[in-house]
């Protein structure tokens, strides 16, 4: 077996692994089906193991194929990243940085952190994509993001690495005109009479909400309104009828909108915040600078924010 695998053979393998159909993969690669079959056979011969079982319903990966798939995706993503970075460097830049963040981070920490990155790496192209864990992590695994800054409260994944930065909490909030913000003590059952708003597709957040209410022996009210827009959620809260769960560090920023913490007897949800990378990926200087700047900024403000 050769020390280096042919990148074209790996590309063919990954396409078949994704589509599980030779005809579909051949169309994507713009090659004939016989040529694709020949490439797969050549790769299997080089490795000395079968990668697929040929069945009437399609191509089923063997245990060898599944194992190679994880490595091959990583090689492919690193190759794409290297090409993109070299292109930017050739054009006078220092590479690119694509960051995935939760919607809350857009109003806390990140503006200053991005400014720090641009000061330290002025020719770096930075792209920030907002989303929730359920949408950001799949994009990170596909190589569409270099790093995700978010809660680390999700199941471990063999292809992801978690880098802890700080511990914080989520709290229940409402507008200062909301009746519950006027009370010194609010029980979990008191929350049931008021509709909640939250981020769309945030299934992890909904699950945490369900666990909180279940721990107090009551059924979760769920979300009355879901939106991907933080501005819309803040506007709804400002009407005084709705409640929401916000990350504690942004509460001070939200107070300009009249948003206040609801005084529950215990924390709604405590969690670790950090950076998430693809395992084995090479961290660029901008990524390292990002995490260092975020770590420093959050530690400076942590005691005041909580």
Nearest C-alpha neighbor of 212 from the set 269, 144, 141, 132: 269
Phi, psi of 166 (to 5 degrees): -145, 170
User: Given this structure, which CATH class describes domain 167-271?
Assistant: alpha beta
Q: Where are the domains of the chain?
A: 7-75, 86-166+275-298, 167-271
Instruction: Determine contact, residues 273/167, Cβ cutoff 8 Å.
Output: yes
Q: What are the pLDDT digits (tens) for 23-54?
A: 999 999 999 999 999 999 999 998 899 999 99
Per residue in 188-227, pLDDT (tens digit) is 999 999 999 999 888 888 888 999 999 999 999 999 999 9
Q: pTM value?
A: 0.66
User: What confidence score (pLDDT) does residue 1 get?
Assistant: 46
What's domain 86-166+275-298's superfamily in CATH?
Periplasmic binding protein-like II (3.40.190.10)
What is the pLDDT of the chain when averaged over all its residues?
84
Q: Mind listing the pLDDT tens digit for each residue in 91-128?
A: 555 567 889 998 777 777 788 888 888 887 777 888 89
More confident residue, 53 or 256: 53
Residue, of 178 and 286, whose pLDDT is higher: 178
3-state secondary structure 244-295: EEEEHHHHHHHHHHCEEECCCCCCCEEEEEEEEEECCCCCCHHHHHHHHHHH
**Residue 93 confidence (pLDDT):** 53
Per-residue confidence band for 305, with pLDDT thresholds at 50, 70 and 90: very low
Six-digit token string for 244: 């929401």
Sign, Cα dihedral of 177, 181, 186, 189: positive
7-75 and 167-271: same fold? no
pLDDT above 50 for 22: yes
- Tell me: pLDDT of 157 over 70: yes
In the prediction, which pLDDT does 6 show?
Answer: 73
What is the CATH code of the structural domain delimited by 7-75? 1.10.10.10
pLDDT band of 306, cuts 50, 70, 90? very low
């Amino acid at each position: 077996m050769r020390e280096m695998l042919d990148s074209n053979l790996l590309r063919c393998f990954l396409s078949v692994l994704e589509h599980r159909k030779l005809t579909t993969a051949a169309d994507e690669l713009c090659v004939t089906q016989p040529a694709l079959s020949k490439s797969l056979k050549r790769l299997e011969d080089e490795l000395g193991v079968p990668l697929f079982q040929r069945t009437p319903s399609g191509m089923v990966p063997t245990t060898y194929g599944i194992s190679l798939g994880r490595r091959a995706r990583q090689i492919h993503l690193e190759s794409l990243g290297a090409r993109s970075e070299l292109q930017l460097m050739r054009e006078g830049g220092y590479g690119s940085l694509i960051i995935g963040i939760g919607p809350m981070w857009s109003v806390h920490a990140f503006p200053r952190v991005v400014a720090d990155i641009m000061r330290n790496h002025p020719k770096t192209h930075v792209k920030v994509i907002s989303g929730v864990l359920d949408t950001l992590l799949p994009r990170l695994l596909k190589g569409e993001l270099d790093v995700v800054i978010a809660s680390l409260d999700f199941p471990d994944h063999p292809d992801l690495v978690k880098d802890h930065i700080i511990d914080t909490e989520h709290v229940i909030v409402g507008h200062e005109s909301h009746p519950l913000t006027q009370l010194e003590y609010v029980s979990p059952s008191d929350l049931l009479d008021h509709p909640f708003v939250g981020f769309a597709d945030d299934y992890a957040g909904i699950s945490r909400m369900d666990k909180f209410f279940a721990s107090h022996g009551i059924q979760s009210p769920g979300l009355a309104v879901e939106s991907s827009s933080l501005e819309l959620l803040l506007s709804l809260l400002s009407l005084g009828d709705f409640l929401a769960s916000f990350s504690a560090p942004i509460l001070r920023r939200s107070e300009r909108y009249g948003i206040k913490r609801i005084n529950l007897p215990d924390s709604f949800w405590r969690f670790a915040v950090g950076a998430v990378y693809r395992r084995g990926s090479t961290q660029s200087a901008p990524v390292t600078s990002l995490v260092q700047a975020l770590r420093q900024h959050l530690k400076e403000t942590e005691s005041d924010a909580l």
